[in-house]
Amino acid sequence: MMSYFSSRTISRTFTRSVTGPWNYVTGKRCDPSESLGSIKVTEPATGQVLCEVLRSGPLEVDHAVSSAKEVFSTWSKLSGRDRGQKLIKAGHIIRENLEDISKLEVRDTGKPIWEARVDIASCAEALEYYGGLAPAIIGQHVPLHGGSFAMVQRQPLGVIGGIGAWNFPMQTCVWKVAPALACGNTFVYKPSQFTPVTAVTLAEILTEAGVPDGVFNVIQGDGESGAKLCDHPDVAKLSFTGSISTGTKVMAAGSKGVKSVTLELGGKSPLIIFEDADMKNAVKATLMANFLSQGQVCSNGTRVFVQSSIASEFIKKLVDATKRLKLGDPFGEDTTVGATIHEEHAKKVLDFIASAKEEGARVLCGGERVIQPGKLRGGWYLSPAVLVNCKDQMKVVKEEVFGSVASVLEFDSEEEAVKRANDTDFGLAGGVFTKDIHRGHRVANAIEAGTVWINTYNLYPTEIPFGGYKHSGIGRENGHTAVDNFTQTRTIYVEMGNVDCGPLYQE
């Protein structure tokens, strides 16, 4: 008998090339029945057209939501174990096809192949984690006076509307879909218009794993398509990853429909390096905190606070390490920095660098477009930049650049570092480097952020929650916490004695 996970079985349903149609509704790829026009998606590595995607209009959004609503009663009534087994199977399929999916992700995003492999492996981890957790999503039995008791049940919300980001297109999708499906919800997802490819791949994988048709649907489009999804009356919850400006619109749509909302928004995170830090690890973490995914990471530690006594040595080592990064073909095994998502965004990053120089910052390395040879000539490759002489009020220090730009700032005391680190409207993440474990905990607890790393940076195990303070978002993804965001409770009180109504009733 052929194994369920054999490559021959999988290959019949898993599309391994950049091929449309790009919507996925009721268990199959499809074009929208009504289109608002098309979007030409460019491949970041080459600047050439990767695919053309039709924008979903109101009829197609309604079709997807109706599909999810129709199958909700069937999916939600399955046991947690049954749902979980299907998610675990999906995780196995991803692992069996890791290389092919990673290549699709590279073409979609322009990030290096080594990094895409890490991202896609994390998708398998999330599906396996929530697949294993699904049987444990249970309520409570609460004993009460006189033998009475209450049952507190965890119930799914219904149809979830998700909108994802372009920097980690499959990962941000799975972080929403895995816990939502584990809890018994169904889903309609709109990926970013810049990275439409791998959300549909995930849909095919879930179908192959046995998830019923309609449980997970994908609609493509831009902000208008997303707005139609947010406003749909049959969507019970909205989950969004992206910019603050769009996040506020999603939140407004949620409030209008009294929908639950989870937002994972931007960041301007501090990375504080004390004089007793392990210098080599601090430099490595700074590279991770600024140049991962071409700097296009919301949690990046782009405000690098370095204690003055070690600033000169640290800056020299950081610049040396940055210059050794290899910029180029994302499919090259030795490439460490790939292509920026598209021309408009690359020019925005370059404008931040120009503004920093006008305000007095010095660029010690990078910060320029590097023209690549041959077929890569049309891609926007920006050399990673290290800025010094930075001040807290500079635009590049205050605003989210979302590019390969590290701003180095010096500080003298712990109190000063914490105060300046918290002087921001953002609160997504932060990092502390010190060999003094007491100071590490003290500073980590003082930083106003949803995630703080001590002596590392930008690690996201599925087991721990991720999300922000202040303008960086509402709610959490990952960990057991995500279950709270995708369920609601129902309390059933069982009276085992006579009704006690005090003096209201007289014999």
Tell me the two tokens of residue 81: 């174990």
Q: Of 31, 12, 377, 480, whose CA–CA distance to 208 is shortest? A: 12
Q: 296-319 in b/e burial notation, b at 16+ Cβ within 10 A?
A: bbbbbbbbbbbbeebbeebbebbb
In the β-sheet with 28-30, what is the strand arrangement from edge to edge?
28-30, 23-25, 216-218, 186-190, 159-163, 235-241, 260-264, 473-474
Give the H/E segment covering residue 398.
helix 395-398
Please state the separation of Cα 211 from the chain's center in Å. Answer: 23
The answer for residues whose C-beta is within 8 angstroms of residue 82's C-beta and 6 or more apart is: none
Task: Given the residues 60, 105, 208, 264, select the one marked as catalytic.
Answer: 264
Please state the separation of Cα 21 from the chain's center in Å. Answer: 24
DSSP-derived pairing of the beta strands 405-411 and 385-388:
parallel
Q: What is the DSSP letter of 4?
A: T
For 471, phi then psi, to 5°, come to: -80, 0
The Cα 315–Cα 223 span in angstroms is 41
The Cα 369–Cα 306 span in angstroms is 28
CA atoms within 13 A on the CB side of 353: 25
343 is catalytic: no
CB 271 within 8 A of CB 305: yes
The Cα 292–Cα 310 span in angstroms is 24
CB 325 within 8 A of CB 293: no
Tell me the two tokens of residue 488: 């609601």
Q: Note the residue count of the chain.
A: 507
For 22, phi then psi, to 5°, come to: -110, -15
Task: Given the residues 30, 230, 298, 390, select the one marked as catalytic.
Answer: 298
What does each C-alpha distance from 65 to 25, 59, 61, 211, 252 come to in angstroms?
Answer: 9, 10, 6, 17, 20
Enumerate the active-site residues. Answer: 264, 298
